[in-house]
Structure 1
């Protein structure tokens, strides 16, 4: 476990001779949207005088990029497991570390650590919603969400969402009447996506000349619906279009992979469905794709859609608010009804592949750099939250309004 330096500063104050200290609380470190977006901001925040330390609500430190990136930029990583000792351990850390900001990426559960941060005198307390959370919940889960949400309302100084829908479904449909709420879009680092990789994708999967290579990026969890890929390949085959599906992302459980393999076997396509697992060269793989398929039915602002579009790769995605938000700002997204049959997805794949064939990476990059998703815009939004005293009121209002458009 990493240790945080002691600081004699009294709660609620910040020493002028040290950087703004942010304690970022996440579920765990692994490859995923929250982790990647956080990792991309770290060097820029460090250059701006913000020191970010990570607390994970798990004893598991996964293979994602955050641990090494955090330490390289002056931070620490400390696991605090969700067990009977969670509250006293977190309170002890807050009192010893005295952060200027506590920023929690744990949906409504954020209310618990933020309430503790309030008790410890932390001046800036941020809840960050990254998913729509519009799945029907059991009575027990609804009660849990209501209780945590009440703590969040009383404890947060800032409530962020990666898209308007993440605040609508995750926090409150009336969020626009809460002055603490604002949309802070995920920013992407194009330099990371352009980094060279080690594999030629077509050679890696044995794709024959003329075959479409369909990539899907996301962890192996039920809401990602990766099992739709084999039926889509089967429909493409019936249209005379040979294709391969390449799935990139960590495996969270054997059940999802088993269903995917069963679907591939039933369609006679076991040799055309390739599971690569977690990779640190996702951008390199995406640049070689003919099309990206993102069948997930639960998202906030999906990086699995935003990343390929930034590279000029046509992307097919389920009709979700966050997907529509991306489509409204950038070309290259083909939206399919969430419950559409595989045949509809297959036709959309052909449309998206045609977009890829007629779009240059340079054109896509120019569009993205001028968009609301640029990494510099995300940095400015985070600095406005972390250092509110340095942001003129009028400028802060303009940034908030710009993020919501």
Structure 2
């Protein structure tokens, strides 16, 4: 794939002038701008950062989808998207982009591999170099991968000015168990745009699924990847059936043929094929979640899971595996029923019934007020990002996040 920006900032030639007059230019590097938790949370920050005079450009590393379906949001708020696949030409291409764009900040969402990118940013004389850990990276690796990861971490320690984690466990398992001794480290919670979750949808889930008024309507939001364990949902439905509860489940998120085949095969095996509904990626997730009786999130690897935080913010009871990021949410907001990661489907089914009771007992207005005063509100995340981005600028950081009243929507999957 050839590299090319979807939109350009500044004139051609020697590149744009370095920011001044209170403005700040940021280059964010991530895998792709697809419908995932990291990408959606990043896109939700853009209008508020732009209102504060912060210009955000992107580099995507995937050679699979190019700029990605969220690229339009970046361009709309004054940025650009440059796909640079990870091949032998990557270092030179990135250095050329740095020379042309001249950012004040490079912010990388690539776990320990961020060290390799930030070393190039150091060579490019970028003053603020941020590594951001998004997940609890505690997977088993062979010797070669462990050596590789150690090398990248050494580069990160040598090049990063700031090391962030979406939760304490993201830094513990992703970066170092001794992260509290590193003054560059801090926890920066994912901010959640509650207004987005309250936008209407034209999709009526009970009509779509054929669920009766007395049947339990479960929703699960997450991309189709192995760690999300979406194949567990059919046996959980079967467990509910065995406990005398009729239910349907709706799966929302970017699709994958092999993952969907596994989900469908499990549905047939457990006799619930007519009760499992795969919707694919949507931009009206909040409207779908508000129709749920319960949300089920069986993922076994997370940092600060949006698939748990979003329904809890709406007052929807949520069942999730026992992970540090899940417990972190549970410590701050009610509504999470935690199940052992390896629990049997019958145990998950019993937890679903408990979580559905929370939904029935919770007033949505109360849930909204509770979330707005929590540390997960998006304004807190914007203020922290602005402080980090502007720390080394002559005029320093603004005191608070700006208020953005007219929030533009993120693009729908059909607008890729």
TM-score, reference length from structure 2? 0.91
Alignment of 1:125-140 (within 5 A): 125-140=129-144
Aligned-pair distance for 1:8?
9.5
Match 1:366 to one of 369, 383, 389: 369
Secondary structure of 2:26's counterpart equals strand
Other-structure match for 2:354: 351
Q: Which moved more, 1:301-310 or 1:259-268?
A: 259-268
Aligned-pair distance for 1:255?
2.3
Q: Distance in 1 between matches of 2:368 and 2:21?
A: 39
Secondary structure of 1:35's counterpart equals helix
Match 2:305 to one of 293, 302, 316: 302
Deviations 1:169-220 (A, max 9, x none): 0000000000000000001001100011111111111111211111000011
Other-structure match for 1:402: none
1:22 aligns with 2:32: no
Deviations 1:230-276 (A, max 9, x none): 11101100111000011000123x22222111110011110000110
Other-structure match for 1:272: 275
Aligned-pair distance for 1:19?
1.9
Match 2:10 to one of 5, 9, 27: 5
1:111–1:149 Cα contact (<8 Å) kept: yes
* Cα RMSD after superposing both structures: 1.9
Aligned-pair distance for 1:15?
3.9
Other-structure match for 1:82: 86
CA gap of 1:218–1:341, structure 2 versus 1, over 3 A, is: same
Q: Which moved more, 1:383-392 or 1:293-302?
A: 383-392
Other-structure match for 2:186: 182
Other-structure match for 1:215: 219
Aligned-pair distance for 1:367?
0.4
Deviations 1:45-87 (A, max 9, x none): 00011000011012423653x2111111111111001111111
Secondary structure of 1:308's counterpart equals helix
Give 5+ residue unaligned stretches, structure 1: 397-405
Q: Distance in 2 between matches of 1:285 and 1:277?
A: 12
1:110–1:152 Cα contact (<8 Å) kept: yes
Q: Distance in 2 between matches of 1:62 and 1:179?
A: 34
Alignment of 1:4-403 (within 5 A): 4-5=9-10, 14-17=18-21, 19-59=23-63, 60-61=65-66, 64=69, 66-252=70-256, 254-389=257-392
1:7–1:98 Cα contact (<8 Å) kept: no
Q: Distance in 2 between matches of 1:356 and 1:62?
A: 38
Runs (4+) of structure 1 moved beyond 6 Å?
A: 7-11
1:249–1:277 Cα contact (<8 Å) kept: yes
**Looking at both structures, which has the greater relative contact order when contacts are Cα pairs under 8 Å and sequence separation is at least 6?**
2
Which has more helix, going by share of residues?
A: 1
2:14–2:100 Cα contact (<8 Å) kept: no
Q: Distance in 2 between matches of 1:237 and 1:178?
A: 51
Q: Distance in 1 between matches of 2:353 and 2:103?
A: 51
Aligned-pair distance for 1:30?
0.7
Deviations 1:142-182 (A, max 9, x none): 11111111111100000000000000000000000000000
2:19–2:25 Cα contact (<8 Å) kept: no
2:239–2:345 Cα contact (<8 Å) kept: yes
2:15–2:101 Cα contact (<8 Å) kept: no
Secondary structure of 1:82's counterpart equals coil
Give 5+ residue unaligned stretches, structure 2: 401-416
Q: Distance in 2 between matches of 1:16 and 1:217?
A: 41
2:60–2:67 Cα contact (<8 Å) kept: no
Q: Distance in 1 between matches of 2:313 and 2:220?
A: 15
1:9–1:98 Cα contact (<8 Å) kept: no
